[in-house]
Structure 1
Amino acid sequence: MTDNGIRNPILPGFNPDPSICRVGDDYYIATSTFEWYPGVQIHHSRDLANWQLAARPLNRAGLLDMRGNCDSGGIWAPCLTHADGLFWLVYTDVKRISGSFKDAPNYLTTAPTVEGPWSDRVFLNASGFDASLFHAPDGRKYLLNMLWDHRQKGHGDQFAGIVLQEYDVAAQKLVGPIHNIFRGSERKLTEAPHLYYRNGWYYLMTAEGGTGYEHAVTLARSRDLLGPYEMHPNTHVLTTFDAPDAPLQRCGHADIVETQTGETYMVHLCSRPVDVEWDEGKAAFRRGLPGEENERRRSQMGRETGIQKMEWRDDGWLYLAEGGHAPTSLITPAPKGLEPAPFDAPPVRTRFASGPLPTDFQWLRSPEPERMFSLDARPGHLRIFGRMSPGNVFENAMLARRQTEHRFTATTEITFDPIDFQTFAGLMCWYNMAQHHFLAVCREDDGSRALRIMSALGDFPFGKTVFGCDPELVPDGPLELRVSVDKAALQFSWRSGEGAWRDIGPVLDATILSDEAGVGEGNNFTGAFVGMAAYDTGGRGHHADFAWFDYALRD
């Protein structure tokens, strides 16, 4: 929170599809985690400006197992609500995203607090993704989700509307007829439904236009739960599709909350793209965008969470408090009557000790972390057991944290004695299997130890590895590895002991680690991570030890 208000984004770095609820004086936001484990991030705040991670509830196989899920599959658009003394979390575990079909089972789990314990999951349906739960004024509950139609039609017609069905709490299943209550606007791609009841009206908020620069928040209302729903006078209450200079872009997929004093705030996904120099040689990695203007923009942090002050006007409709439909500033007015409640700034250095993994870090897909890392095997170190190859969708032995700003440095100390060329470990800058840069300690055929840069530049679906420079020989013993990122520029470096830092390889394209690279923002849904990884493609589980990890923002 600044002197003028709340600064956006409130959840920087990959934190898309926010769902917000208030319980007394406490606010909670749940966001998508896609293939990262444990699933769903829930942040907590008491002032809507300062947020701290409170839980990742999908932390056991009985709630989530994503082994085999494709990149950008997994947890889509959780919905977090509170009623009847419980938190209700609805989530989708997407198993397939390519082609005509979407395999998207939806589940429900509940808990007395966000810290748990969370109940075993209840299967709901699989007719479409972005499911949400509506607690009706009469106490009944309804599930909403977008309806997926796999038949080949026109653009966006696979998004066949928003469907609603009653949920029987005692029976733990959906009951009664399925109603298609809303088919969206001409922008199409109607998804992400949230339903609210206010002053005798049912208000239905959806996202439309895809997840890129055409994204929008649409609002409709009806006197009857089942419709028909009339559209907002402006159709879209939030969008930046016609505001290319707005500081936040790709605004959409939203939810609203009312403060203790009756003010309304909207949380929404957004991005902060950087402009990149146009290069015909990079054109192959800019697919799926509507025009050259957007081909020059890339969002390395992926889709983040922003917040806007809203207002209900005399016509009974919700509007941006500042007017219009595009936020013009990174600052939105702070709520009245809420005292600032900041959290301590996180330390630059993460040290590893026995117990739970430090909260900044996650891994990919597997509910069996013990097969990939240990905090006990060597006291004071994180030991990573080499598993298969970078991009393996069953076991990828990498632990990483979100990139949260355009300029940062990340550094770690590694102790690693590679056996042969099939064992390599080091510092990873990751978006997905086909978009990453890796500074790896390797063993060459002559027995020498060397550093190699291994990159994947968006070659889907194979993720072909290219080598950014010749191998550089390094001494035995611990090494410090560092990456420095300055918007579109990424530079690796290393040192031994207290020696001077030495750059290795050329300046690399950091924007490869973005939604718009590779298959493009209509198919990429995560964000850039940086962390530690070990691989043993020979299947021996050869390990690497990491003493600490630094993440520091740069001015």
Structure 2
Amino acid sequence: MPLVRNPILPGFNPDPSILRVGENYYIATSTFEWFPGVQIHHSTDLANWSLVARPLNRKAQLDMRGDPDSCGVWAPCLTHDGERFWLVYTDVKQKDNSFKDTHNYIVHSESIEGPWSDGIYVNSSGFDPSLFHDNDGKKWFINMLQDHRRRPRFFAGIRLQQWDPITERLIGPTKNIFAGTKLDLVEGPHLYKRNGWYYLLTAEGGTAYDHACTLARSRDIWGPYEVHPQNPILSSANAPFAALQRAGHGDIVDTPDGKTYLVHLSGRPTTQRRRCVLGRETAIQEAYWSEDDWLYVKNGPVPSLHVDLPGTHDDSNYWAEKHYTFDGTNGLHSDFQWLRTPEPERIFQIKDRQLQLTGRESIGSWFEQSLVARRQTHFSYDAETVVDFSPTDEREFAGLTAYYCRYNYFYITITADSDGQRELLILSSEASWPEGKMSLPLSDPVKIPNDGKIKLTLSIRGKQLQFYYGLGEQSEVQEIGRIYDASILCDECGGHQAHGSFTGAFVGVACSDINGTGRVAKFDYFTYRPVEHESDRYEV
């Protein structure tokens, strides 16, 4: 079989849950505060993947207004019981003090494309839930168990209880079936059954550079579970120069011809500070079952950059320019998402062949801000848009943003001074990272005419970001502002030093009106142009 290069889902696609139904493979990944919730990709060869669904797309399933950065949808698990698809997920409401509020839900559908049911509340005892369908027809709900008395290590183990699909509730006894290993921070559980063994795959070590996949097994679903003799089965913790770092949080799938693969999250750090601007991505490894009935990762435990897969990957689309227009026929392109709200009509509409953003709260709001963006999936790229916006004062602004979270963003805005004179102003949180406060004074504003469209562009080459602007749709652009450090748009700088920022960099358009009048900014198009650049050499 041909070698395929990891990751198979580049850019922010963490916590993969994989499933095969017949000849079709599906991977569900976390979306955190980005709406709609959960990305489901489809493949027939494990090498080429396309987005087919974001199932959590209405208020009855998910409302994340007020969820802090890197909260929202954590670690979905996608399964199939022979009749329907099941998706379980957590909506995290807070995570940064002595308590975590983690509400777990189930939705189901007969088709992967939906419609998916309304959210069914299950419990809140921990996060990273999964659903296991035993061959006797019983369904089992598993999640990590949290204990706030154990701070700072509140990961208490893996909780098991039976789920009744008729009454749609948990029934019977509950038990902590696995306390984890010395790697610590046990989470991300998945259960499997093979040759009379129950196998429990978990994530340990935290989601930074000590991350790992741990495997244990038992003859009884209630345990006790013995740990793999060569645990962890996957990790980059002892391989600091491996191309794929932060490897962990995995799931297993079998092919029709009996081969086994493990999908897992990983990160590709850049710069000497080891910053993952593309967030945690989905990679895949070939695995095999040994005569001792244990699973081993081929050439593991360190993940391989190149893997034998049934298919050959076609990367021509990966390097193709994406030019998005807004003609209104198919709605917003599926590459785009927005933040938190299940009421997108309050923040944008497609009208008159434009994307029209209604100014809401300021950039970085955890409640309602008008920001529509796509993932950064390349280390270097150009982005471009043309905007028509007529602000009346300094509290109205709209433009182009490279965004990670409220603590880390770069934003070139069309705004106005207190007399109504239009100007361009760059807003940045770079100077005060990690506090995430805009330092004053800001960059010197550039006066522009009060009428006419403005072209805004940005270029990222590795860690260097430069903004440009032009007066009019067809104008040549010129530099504005200094070169910024784009590498802070990363997990390692997302407001937490480790284990606390979980998404990835986005690029898109935004509009704020903190006067509360809902002033509208109109965008003619959006272009994302990948660039191969010498700073992108990450293979070792």
* TM-score interval, smaller chain: over 0.9
How much does 1:324 deviate? 3.0
Q: In the alignment, is the contact (CA less than 8 A) between 1:162 and 1:191 conserved in 2?
A: yes
Matching residue within 33, 49, 52 for 2:50? 52
Matching residue within 355, 359, 369 for 1:396? 369
Distance (Å, rounded) in 1 between the aligned partners of 2:51 and 2:524: 24
From the superposition, tell whether residues 466 and 359 of structure 1 become closer, same or farther in structure 2 (CA, over 3 Å).
farther
Query: What letter matches 1:326 in structure 2?
Result: V
How much does 1:312 deviate? 1.0
Matching residue within 293, 306, 309 for 1:331? 306
- Name 1:349's counterpart in structure 2: 323
2:470 is the counterpart of 1:524: no
2:180 is the counterpart of 1:180: no
2:476 is the counterpart of 1:500: yes
How much does 1:521 deviate? 3.1
Post-superposition Cα deviations, 1:101-156, rounded to whole Å, max 9, x if no partner, equal: 11001000000111111111111110000000001111100000000001144x42
- Name 2:445's counterpart in structure 1: 471
SS of 1:48's partner is coil
Q: In the alignment, is the contact (CA less than 8 A) between 1:105 and 1:125 conserved in 2?
A: yes
- Name 2:388's counterpart in structure 1: 415
Q: In the alignment, is the contact (CA less than 8 A) between 2:427 and 2:438 conserved in 1?
A: no
From the superposition, tell whether residues 461 and 63 of structure 1 become closer, same or farther in structure 2 (CA, over 3 Å).
farther
SS of 1:431's partner is strand
Residue range with higher mean Cα deviation, 469-478 or 419-428: 469-478
Query: What letter matches 2:39 in structure 1?
Result: Q
Distance (Å, rounded) in 2 between the aligned partners of 1:252 and 1:100: 25
Query: What letter matches 1:161 in structure 2?
Result: G
Q: In the alignment, is the contact (CA less than 8 A) between 1:422 and 1:538 conserved in 2?
A: yes
Distance (Å, rounded) in 1 between the aligned partners of 2:482 and 2:438: 19
Distance (Å, rounded) in 2 between the aligned partners of 1:57 and 1:190: 27
- Name 2:5's counterpart in structure 1: 7
Residue range with higher mean Cα deviation, 16-25 or 500-509: 500-509
SS of 1:57's partner is coil
Residue range with higher mean Cα deviation, 458-467 or 63-72: 458-467
SS of 1:151's partner is helix
What are the within-5 Å matches in structure 2 for residues 367-382 of structure 1? Answer: 367-376=342-351, 379-382=352-355
Distance (Å, rounded) in 2 between the aligned partners of 1:494 and 1:313: 60
- Name 2:528's counterpart in structure 1: 551
SS of 2:345's partner is helix
- Name 2:337's counterpart in structure 1: 362
- Name 1:288's counterpart in structure 2: none
- Name 1:291's counterpart in structure 2: none
- Name 2:535's counterpart in structure 1: none
Distance (Å, rounded) in 2 between the aligned partners of 1:356 and 1:123: 30
From the superposition, tell whether residues 87 and 35 of structure 1 become closer, same or farther in structure 2 (CA, over 3 Å).
same
What are the within-5 Å matches in structure 2 for residues 120-159 of structure 1? Answer: 120-153=118-151, 155-156=152-153, 158-159=154-155
2:31 is the counterpart of 1:33: yes
Q: Name structure 1 gaps, 5 residues minimum.
A: 277-295
- Name 1:79's counterpart in structure 2: 77
Distance (Å, rounded) in 1 between the aligned partners of 2:157 and 2:324: 46
Query: What letter matches 2:325 in structure 1?
Result: R
Post-superposition Cα deviations, 1:468-487, rounded to whole Å, max 9, x if no partner, equal: 52001223311111111111
Distance (Å, rounded) in 2 between the aligned partners of 1:528 and 1:342: 21
Distance (Å, rounded) in 2 between the aligned partners of 1:339 and 1:34: 31
2:421 is the counterpart of 1:448: yes
What are the within-5 Å matches in structure 2 for residues 85-234 of structure 1? Answer: 85-153=83-151, 155-156=152-153, 158-234=154-230
Query: What letter matches 1:350 in structure 2?
Result: Y
From the superposition, tell whether residues 305 and 495 of structure 1 become closer, same or farther in structure 2 (CA, over 3 Å).
same
SS of 2:487's partner is helix
RMSD: 1.6
Q: In the alignment, is the contact (CA less than 8 A) between 1:454 and 1:465 conserved in 2?
A: no
- Name 2:259's counterpart in structure 1: 263
Post-superposition Cα deviations, 1:8-50, rounded to whole Å, max 9, x if no partner, equal: 1111111100000001111100000000000000011111111
SS of 1:236's partner is coil
Q: In the alignment, is the contact (CA less than 8 A) between 1:47 and 1:341 conserved in 2?
A: no
**Sequence identity, in percent?**
51
Post-superposition Cα deviations, 1:255-280, rounded to whole Å, max 9, x if no partner, equal: 0100111111111000111014xxxx
Q: Name structure 2 gaps, 5 residues minimum.
A: 533-540
2:232 is the counterpart of 1:236: yes
Residue range with higher mean Cα deviation, 438-447 or 80-89: 438-447
Q: In the alignment, is the contact (CA less than 8 A) between 1:452 and 1:467 conserved in 2?
A: no
Query: What letter matches 1:256 in structure 2?
Result: I
How much does 1:331 deviate? 1.1
Distance (Å, rounded) in 1 between the aligned partners of 2:489 and 2:522: 26
Q: In the alignment, is the contact (CA less than 8 A) between 2:17 and 2:76 conserved in 1?
A: yes
Distance (Å, rounded) in 1 between the aligned partners of 2:93 and 2:341: 14
How much does 1:412 deviate? 0.7
SS of 2:149's partner is coil
SS of 1:234's partner is coil
How many residues are paired up? 526
Post-superposition Cα deviations, 1:442-477, rounded to whole Å, max 9, x if no partner, equal: 112343221111012365666435565200122331
Post-superposition Cα deviations, 1:167-201, rounded to whole Å, max 9, x if no partner, equal: 01111100001111101110110000000001111
Distance (Å, rounded) in 1 between the aligned partners of 2:226 and 2:126: 23
Distance (Å, rounded) in 2 between the aligned partners of 1:447 and 1:341: 51
Matching residue within 64, 67, 75 for 1:66? 64
Post-superposition Cα deviations, 1:505-525, rounded to whole Å, max 9, x if no partner, equal: 111010111110131231111
Distance (Å, rounded) in 1 between the aligned partners of 2:420 and 2:210: 53
From the superposition, tell whether residues 343 and 140 of structure 1 become closer, same or farther in structure 2 (CA, over 3 Å).
farther
Query: What letter matches 1:248 in structure 2?
Result: L
Distance (Å, rounded) in 1 between the aligned partners of 2:275 and 2:312: 36
SS of 2:512's partner is strand
From the superposition, tell whether residues 79 and 136 of structure 1 become closer, same or farther in structure 2 (CA, over 3 Å).
same
Q: In the alignment, is the contact (CA less than 8 A) between 1:438 and 1:455 conserved in 2?
A: yes
Distance (Å, rounded) in 2 between the aligned partners of 1:203 and 1:467: 57
How much does 1:75 deviate? 0.1
From the superposition, tell whether residues 246 and 460 of structure 1 become closer, same or farther in structure 2 (CA, over 3 Å).
closer
- Name 2:489's counterpart in structure 1: 513
